[in-house]
Chain A
Amino acid sequence: MKKRMPFLLFTLFLICVWEFLSWRSWIPESLFPPPHQVLKALTETPHEWREATLRSALASGEGLLISLASGVLLAFILSLFTLLKRALLPLAVFFQTVPIIAIAPLLVIYFGYGLPTVVASSAIVAFFPVLASFLIGLESVEKEKLELFELYQANSWQTLIKLRLPSAFLSLYSGLKVAVGLAIIGTVAGEFVAGGGLGSIIDEARTQQRVDRVFAALVLLALLGLLGLSLLQFVFYTLNKIRPYARSSEELSS
């Protein structure tokens, strides 16, 4: 709790400043709705918000899991076969640079309206950081350790499981931290075109010039992101504690 104090206090301070500026009409209400108005928008239709947030959370979670599974698997394969890596890695950059908004309408045609498109959109944007970070982790093993494994005539599979994988742990963690935020962005972009969730509410609110509702959705998305990160931190912290080759947990909580 003590560690969270600065964050909570600063957020509270920002909210107060915002409310004050708006109260003095220094910033226009209809462009930057004051916090109390955003809160009011949230309490007007709590049921709708709850349902939409759950849908977006579910889609982001699924998207993240798919990107985690596929990213890790591909990184494994690529780290084993150098030739394949040279052939495929440049193509993977496609996933990093593709503006999801541009291909989202196509996803609707591929996957139809609803959850599948949203999950696909989320997974596409979250995929690259997982792949890249895990691959870098697998490959940035200290030279001496590699030589030691060679000395003991370990094969490449053994090297991968017993040396590369453990040392990629932290790298994957930082990649996933980026991926959590991206998965949520991908979800919202998917929801713009496929419907449902907070993205759909944002889309509707924009048409109706309800900026307070847009901000309310942004607040919920931010909370979703925070929740995702905390969950991730918890999982990795726990894993780090129980794994035998643990480095100091200090590194992880930073």
Chain B
Amino acid sequence: MNSHFSKKIISIFIPMLCFTFVASAEGKKTITLALNWKAEPQFGGFYQTQLEKKIPLKILEGGSGTPTIQMLSFGKVDAAVVSAEEILISNAQNPQNPVVALFAVFQTNPQIWMTRQDRGFHSIADVLNHPGLVAAQSGLTYVQFLKKKYPHSKVQWVPYSGGIAGLINEKNYTQQGFLTSEPLLAEEKGIKVSTFLIADEGFNPYTTVLAVRKSDLKSKRQEILKWVEAIRKGWEDYLKNPLPANQLMGQINTSMDAKTFQKSSELQKKLIEAKSLGSMTEKRWDSLIQTLVRLKILAHPLKAQDQFINLK
């Protein structure tokens, strides 16, 4: 290759390289937030935060089987929305890359079971004491909790693969869900359902929890404090007026219509509202840790105070 030609290449290549670096440095400033499910009202406040643009937030949707917590602990994203159990399991199994909870959206866990109303059931105990199918994602902590609580249940456990197709096609069918989404989908299809909160069975961990890596919290605490403040503001505004964020989510998740978005965001209000939105207590983290140790999901108890922080 003659030297003139190589100079020419270099003169094109170097500016390109510089540009790439600058662009990626700029891109770094955007905070990537991974969700563990589709854009639904349970994440409304995060989308509201994105709309308010106080922090440059980029939200990545998740789905069934998305390894959201691993994406966070291994540094693929800056922040993630996961459940409290996922944080504990991750910290126990991957102690080199600890994560920490900053903001818990739901004070009452919205996880439910639902079944057809005409079965006349009044509780989860009724479901488990009658023959039928229960569709729940295998490996879920509360499933193990319930199996231990009701060792002589008469149901057949089957995998849950999303949606409400099973409920439509089977009579004696109970499925997992979020109070704020699946029951509304069933209603839309004209199926009358009874819903039972898992929390009423004594299993009520924080869920839809914002988490970051502990190392990041150490190195840029002030910046992360700003994130949390912006997100708290986002949630406050979303609870007052969910419409703008609902419209945004409606464009991303077209499987839910505007009416359902509206209903869902109203339904979840009472599960979220608290004196200080998103704040957590050591007592509840500790109680979850004890439960997980009893269920042998955690081999050893973790320190509750290391798992979360109420940034002020």
A209, B69: Cβ atoms closer than 8 Å: yes
Q: Chain A residues with Cβ under 8 A from B166's Cβ?
A: 108-109
In chain B, positions 77-103 with a C-beta closer than 8 Å to chain A are 86, 89-90, 93-94, 96-97
Task: From the candidates A30, A193, A205, name the one contacting B159 in the complex (CB within 8 A).
Answer: A193
Is B65 positioned at the interface, with any CB of A under 8 Å from its CB?
Answer: yes
Cα–Cα, bound, A217→B15 (Å) = 49
Task: From the candidates A109, A195, A207, name the one contacting B139 in the complex (CB within 8 A).
Answer: A207
Is A48 positioned at the interface, with any CB of B under 8 Å from its CB?
Answer: no
Cα–Cα, bound, A206→B297 (Å) = 13
- How many chain B residues have a CB neighbour from A under 8 Å? 29
B138, A105: Cβ atoms closer than 8 Å: no
Is B262 positioned at the interface, with any CB of A under 8 Å from its CB?
Answer: no
Q: Chain A residues with Cβ under 8 A from B65's Cβ?
A: 206
Q: Chain B residues with Cβ under 8 A from A210's Cβ?
A: 93
Is A200 positioned at the interface, with any CB of B under 8 Å from its CB?
Answer: yes
Cα–Cα, bound, A247→B225 (Å) = 76
User: 10 interchain pairs (CB within 8 A)?
Assistant: A28-B94, A28-B97, A105-B163, A109-B169, A192-B159, A195-B138, A195-B158, A203-B159, A205-B139, A206-B65
Q: Which 9 A-B pairs have the closest CB atoms?
A: A207-B139, A204-B139, A30-B94, A204-B138, A113-B158, A208-B139, A105-B161, A193-B161, A209-B89
A113-B156, A203-B137, A209-B90 known, 6 other contacts, Cβ within 8 Å: A31-B74, A109-B166, A194-B158, A195-B157, A207-B137, A209-B70
Is B165 positioned at the interface, with any CB of A under 8 Å from its CB?
Answer: yes
Q: Chain A residues with Cβ under 8 A from B162's Cβ?
A: 105
Cα–Cα, bound, A193→B160 (Å) = 7
Q: A28-B96, A31-B74 are in contact. Are A209 and B86 (CB under 8 A)?
A: yes
Across the interface, name the chain A residue whose C-beta is closest to B85: A208
Is B131 positioned at the interface, with any CB of A under 8 Å from its CB?
Answer: no
In chain B, positions 98-156 with a C-beta closer than 8 Å to chain A are 133, 137-140, 156
Cα–Cα, bound, A249→B126 (Å) = 64
In chain A, positions 107-162 with a C-beta closer than 8 Å to chain B are 108-109, 113
Q: A28-B74, A113-B133, A204-B138 are in contact. Are A195 and B169 (CB under 8 A)?
A: no
